[in-house]
Amino acid sequence: MNQRAKKGKVYIIGAGPGDAGLITLKAIDCLRLADVVIYDNLVNEELLKYAPAHARFIYAGKKGGDHTLSQDKINALLFQEALDGNTVARLKGGDPFVFGRGGEEAEILALNDVPFEIIPGVTSAIAVPAYAGIPLTHRGLTSTVAFITGHEDPTKDKSDIDWQALVGIGTLVFLMGVKNIGQITAALISHGKSSETPAAVIRRGTTPRQEVIIGTLATIVEQVQANNFQPPAILVVGKVVELRETLCWYDTKPLFGRGVVITRPERQADDLALLLAAQGASPISFPTISIVPPKDWSELDSALDQLESYHWLIFTSANGVHFFFERLRQRGRDVRDLKGIKICCIGPATARQIQDRGIKVDLVPREFIAEGILNSFSSLDLSGKKILLPRAAVARDILPEGLKKQGAAVDVAATYQTINSGRKKEELMKLIDAGEVDIITFTSSSTVTNFVEIMGAEYVLPSSLQIACIGPVTAATAKKAGFPVDISREEYTMEGLVQSLINNVQEKASRMCEEKK
């Protein structure tokens, strides 16, 4: 059969305003099909993870007037990539048809018979005010709203903007307006808008770096200059701005704006990142360790060969569970081989891994550390019982030793190992120097020791940074490495760690109130 060449297609996709969660399901579906992703400056780069592993990424830029690729070049690139048979995801900030030049890009494709689809996005024009607690319409306040480009210089001879008409509209939303804000407010006032009209400028909206200035048409220019507000920002003019006082919800979150470094391995960072983001923090993934199979499977293999002889299986981490079952599968076996063996997990996250595999967990200790397991077992008669402990290649001896003292026969099997992630210290130092890091979290001793290895023993963290540790063992390792541990959580759960960060912020805030009294 005659093999026809694959025909390319371009998806012009709205990526949403900044918060990665504001992308649409359809946009994600299209990104998953992409051979090449061409993305703009305002696109949250976190979204690139949805593209398949083979995808190429092309940054098209556009920061203010500074275009990495000119619009003509972008148009030509879209056309060429599609002609080459590629599926192209053209990822644009907000909505592609709202001041996004998506229409021009689609026109070129239409004229050249290149198949394309438009995936609308959540535009910053609506979402950014919403995250500042400003609804663009509100019963009794306004029933009209206009979106305006502030890019045009209103003093130019012939304006495309009908300033007179704008004065009669309830809510005005200016995009790309920071540079011209002086001319915009002057034009509105000179055409009859009251200088007392409330106005808001919102910068980097929907992100943990969101900043909001509230004033009036008369005052806002000076406020914006005093705060040295740079793009991207949105100007909202109208009575609805006053609703922020009641509806402010995002920038009042307990960890709002805090940059929190996660040193856990990439695969396990997501849970903590989601919990942090839900509290308004900006999670920064900087894994210091990677979890990989052990150098040698022989310990686990010989345990698997006599699996039915064990009475208990004890898992001390989610990694142990993952690699145990991976090896079991590789050896042509599955959960049916665990019949009759009781299972103990060190804490709820590890237990979830077992339960997700359709298996009941028999024991979770009250304290989620090795000592907690020993306490739980102390009331059981372990004499003559065989226990398998699939765990990290290097780990503390306290658990196997303790169980042996209680009469059990214990086999320890190296099931995974922790290695240095190989990340570069410059990556993190850049963020620290830019003032974007407030808290560094350590969730195991190995995250601490590998952090020190990556940053170099001579590197001194700025004293403004806080160190947060989960569990007493990790805290002890951090102290030994010379870190002042500001926040430490006895209970080993991610939820608990996030709660400790919140408590710390609230304690500090109330201390400051006390001092002011």
Closer Cβ to ligand SAH, 12 or 485, answer by number = 12
Q: Positive or negative CA dihedral for 382, 383, 385, 389? A: positive
At CB < 8 A and 24+ separation, what contacts does 483-489 make? 483/448, 487/439
**Considering the rule CB under 6 A, would residue 233 count as an interface residue with ligand SAH?**
yes
**Considering the rule CB under 6 A, would residue 12 count as an interface residue with ligand SAH?**
no
Closer Cβ to ligand SAH, 147 or 297, answer by number = 147
Closest distance between ligand SAH and the C-beta of residue 62, in Å?
A: 8
Buried b or exposed e, range 52-77, using 16+ CB within 10 angstroms: eeebeebebebeeeeeebeeeebbeb
Binding ligand SAH (rule: CB under 6 A), the pick from 18, 198, 280, 400 is 18
Binding ligand SAH (rule: CB under 6 A), the pick from 23, 36, 42, 346 is 42
Residue 322's CB is within 10 A of a number of other CB atoms, namely 17
Asked if 288 and 311 touch (Cβ cutoff 8 Å), the reply is no
Asked if 240 and 171 touch (Cβ cutoff 8 Å), the reply is yes
> On the CB side of 97, how many CA atoms lie within 13 Å of its CA?
9
Closer Cβ to ligand SAH, 37 or 344, answer by number = 37
**Angstrom distances, CA of residue 455 to CA of 32, 448, 481:** 35, 11, 12
Asked if 420 and 454 touch (Cβ cutoff 8 Å), the reply is yes
Closest distance between ligand SAH and the C-beta of residue 221, in Å?
A: 16
The 3-state secondary structure of 179-199 reads CCHHHHHHHHHHCCCCCCCEE
Instruction: Tell me how far apart the alpha carbons of residues 249 and 175 are, in angstroms, rounded to a whole number.
Output: 22
Total of residues contacting ligand SAH (CB under 6 A):
25
Closer Cβ to ligand SAH, 126 or 413, answer by number = 126
The catalytic position among 19, 176, 251, 494 is 176
Closer Cβ to ligand SAH, 202 or 281, answer by number = 202
Binding ligand SAH (rule: CB under 6 A), the pick from 89, 106, 108, 202 is 202
Nearest CA to 167 out of 194, 207, 142 is that of: 194
Instruction: Tell me how far apart the alpha carbons of residues 431 and 421 are, in angstroms, rounded to a whole number.
Output: 18
Catalytic (active site) residue 1 = no
Closer Cβ to ligand SAH, 93 or 259, answer by number = 93
Closer Cβ to ligand SAH, 204 or 385, answer by number = 204
Binding ligand SAH (rule: CB under 6 A), the pick from 231, 254, 293, 472 is 231
Asked if 289 and 445 touch (Cβ cutoff 8 Å), the reply is no
Closer Cβ to ligand SAH, 31 or 382, answer by number = 31
Catalytic (active site) residue 62 = yes
Q: Positive or negative CA dihedral for 182, 214, 228, 203? A: negative
* Strand residue runs (E) in 336-453: 342-345, 386-392, 409-420, 439-442
Q: Residue 56 has which token pair?
A: 């190429």
Q: Positive or negative CA dihedral for 397, 399, 400, 403? A: positive
The catalytic position among 35, 40, 95, 251 is 40
Binding ligand SAH (rule: CB under 6 A), the pick from 9, 90, 204, 489 is 204
**Considering the rule CB under 6 A, would residue 38 count as an interface residue with ligand SAH?**
no
Q: Residue with the closest Cβ to ligand SAH?
A: 94
Binding ligand SAH (rule: CB under 6 A), the pick from 8, 100, 283, 287 is 100
Candidates 92-100, 242-250, 256-264, 498-506: pick the segment binding ligand SAH (CB under 6 A). 92-100
Candidates 120-128, 241-249, 277-285, 473-481: pick the segment binding ligand SAH (CB under 6 A). 120-128
- DSSP summary character for residue 459: -
Closer Cβ to ligand SAH, 18 or 390, answer by number = 18
**Considering the rule CB under 6 A, would residue 205 count as an interface residue with ligand SAH?**
yes
**Considering the rule CB under 6 A, would residue 338 count as an interface residue with ligand SAH?**
no
**Considering the rule CB under 6 A, would residue 221 count as an interface residue with ligand SAH?**
no
**Considering the rule CB under 6 A, would residue 129 count as an interface residue with ligand SAH?**
no
**Considering the rule CB under 6 A, would residue 81 count as an interface residue with ligand SAH?**
no
Binding ligand SAH (rule: CB under 6 A), the pick from 128, 184, 300, 485 is 128
Binding ligand SAH (rule: CB under 6 A), the pick from 8, 94, 390, 400 is 94
Catalytic (active site) residue 176 = yes
Asked if 369 and 476 touch (Cβ cutoff 8 Å), the reply is no
**Considering the rule CB under 6 A, would residue 449 count as an interface residue with ligand SAH?**
no
The catalytic position among 9, 35, 62, 251 is 62
Asked if 240 and 141 touch (Cβ cutoff 8 Å), the reply is yes
Instruction: Tell me how far apart the alpha carbons of residues 280 and 273 are, in angstroms, rounded to a whole number.
Output: 11
What residues act catalytically?
40, 62, 176
Binding residues for ligand SAH, rule: CB under 6 A, are 17-18, 42, 92-95, 98-100, 123-125, 128, 175-176, 202-206, 231-234
